[in-house]
Amino acid sequence: MDRTILHSDCNCYYASVEMLHQPKLWDIPMAVGGDPEARHGIILTANYIAKRRGVKTGMALWQARQVCPEITFVPPRMDLYIKFSRMIREIYSEYTDLIEPFGLDEAWLDTSGSCSVKGDGMRIAKEISGRIKKEIGITVSVGVSWNKIYAKLGSDYKKPDAITEFSRQNYREKAFPLPAGDLLYVGRSTQRKLHNLGITTIGELAGTDPALLQRIFGKVGLMLYAFAAGLDETPVSPEHTEAPVKSIGNSTTTPRDLTCDEDVKLVLYLLSESVAKRCRENGFAGQVIEIYVRDNELYSVGRQRKIAVPTNISHEIEAVAMELFHEVYHWHRPIRSIGVRVADLKPESIPWQISLFQSPEQREKLLAADRAADDIRRRFGFHAVQRGIMYCDRYLSSLNASADDHMIHPHSYLERGNRTGAEKILHLNV
């Protein structure tokens, strides 16, 4: 018996919440993004007026201003968006406990067990859509299908405030003519490769020999074939289950271009403090340090290194990050953004044999200093205590790299390690 899967996607979510709180924004082009003066961030979402004038999610603020000079930027308020997301999920929870978030504004719902009481998928989708509009004040687009991929395709099919069903009876007629790029995980690069093979639509992808796709794309080719052909069987994860944390990182677009090692060192300390703090809060220490650098022409490079002893000490993270920076970047151009990440996380309570060249007493002092700074910042704010290097450039050090400013990113569809139809194909040795 087929499942009944819904994918609910809030329309222009951040912008919708802001317009709900600021009615003056309803009739003008607006977008939620960073601070245009400090050059922080990109367009997170825009309302439909701005979208019709060419503003797109992911566009830099200056680019959005070029295509729509009269646009109004609103800084993001993540606490507000999280609050609304929780209220929306409370509505979902009245229909099923199988709710898998895909970011703040999207979620899959497996309502198979509710159909005998609540009605079929379309009826449940209409009821949920109506309740969110009436009780929350924003709109959603909902896809209904027997698998997660087609449910997601359905929520993207028609916007805003729409419900689309891809059923066993109509999916060839409705879904197969759509561009292959509409499928989850068919990005621009994959779409270009498919186009070179003469595959432009979902139907053509579903009709392609999976052995050919496997030779060209590896296992991903089988996954894409399964997605297109409606073979995906990935379950909707129960509510409040999350994939295990694999890494902790932070990156930023700097208030001005970085032009020298001293600039980089200052920003790396800010980022390392943020990452180390989050590691300690979650009881982790990491054994892989990674940096990411992007120059002012948007060319990106990165490098990582495995260290001998896992760490959650900001000084140690910054020291390795700075060494990696010297290895990977040679000042061809000024730097626009930079990031630090700690991976290969392990419980901080696990004992490790430190190097003969490391002083355990010195490490304990550094960790104690970090924890003392955490406590002061928790009580009095991020800028209540700072390193002396921050006084070398008060403009750069005004950046708040605390965890409170982080954006919420959606989980990867694949990170939960679920068995899909593609894996079944693989086991058949196609």
Helix residue spans in 54-98 (DSSP H): 61-67, 78-92
* Gap between the Cα atoms of 77 and 309, Å rounded: 38
* Gap between the Cα atoms of 240 and 165, Å rounded: 27
Tens-place pLDDT, residues 304-316: 999 999 999 999 9
Can you give the pLDDT at residue 402? 63
297 secondary structure, DSSP code: T
- The answer to whether position 424 is within a domain reads no
Phi–psi pair at 418, nearest 5 degrees: -80, 155
Question: b/e per residue, 133-162, with b = 16+ CB within 10 A?
Answer: eeebebbbbbbbbbbbbbbbbbbbbebeeb
Where residue 305 sits, what CATH number does that domain have?
A: 3.30.1490.100
More confident residue, 425 or 67: 67
Can you give the pLDDT at residue 429? 43
- The answer to whether position 109 is within a domain reads yes
**Above pLDDT 70, what percent of the chain?**
89
- The answer to whether position 61 is within a domain reads yes
Please check whether residues 108 and 252 belong to one and the same domain: no
**CB within 8 Å of 79: residues ≥ 6 apart:** none
Mean pLDDT, to the nearest integer, of 194-198? Answer: 95
* Gap between the Cα atoms of 14 and 267, Å rounded: 28
* Gap between the Cα atoms of 9 and 107, Å rounded: 7
More confident residue, 208 or 76: 208
Average pLDDT, the chain: 87
- The answer to whether position 430 is within a domain reads no
**CB within 8 Å of 142: residues ≥ 6 apart:** 6, 7, 8, 9, 125, 128, 129, 154, 155, 162, 163, 164
- The answer to whether position 10 is within a domain reads yes
Which of 242, 259, 284 is at the close of a domain? 242
Mean pLDDT, to the nearest integer, of 146-154? Answer: 97
Query: Is position 106 annotated as part of the catalytic site?
Result: yes
Q: Which residues constitute the domain of residue 267?
A: 247-405
- The answer to whether position 53 is within a domain reads yes
* In the predicted structure, residue 422 carries a pLDDT above the cut 60: no
Lowest-confidence pick of 63-77, 340-354, 409-423: 409-423
Inter-residue contact 318 to 261 (CB < 8 Å): no
- Residue 189 has a CB neighbour count (10 Å cut-off) of 8
Q: Which of 106, 273, 290, 318 is catalytic?
A: 106
User: In the chain, how many domains are there?
Assistant: 3
Please check whether residues 265 and 400 belong to one and the same domain: yes
User: What would the two tokens of residue 149 be?
Assistant: 């991929």
* Gap between the Cα atoms of 352 and 342, Å rounded: 17
Grade residue 27 by pLDDT with cuts at 50, 70 and 90.
very high
Burial zone of 29 (CB within 10 Å; 0-12 exposed, 13-18 middle, 19+ buried): buried
Can you give the pLDDT at residue 421? 56
pTM of the model: 0.67
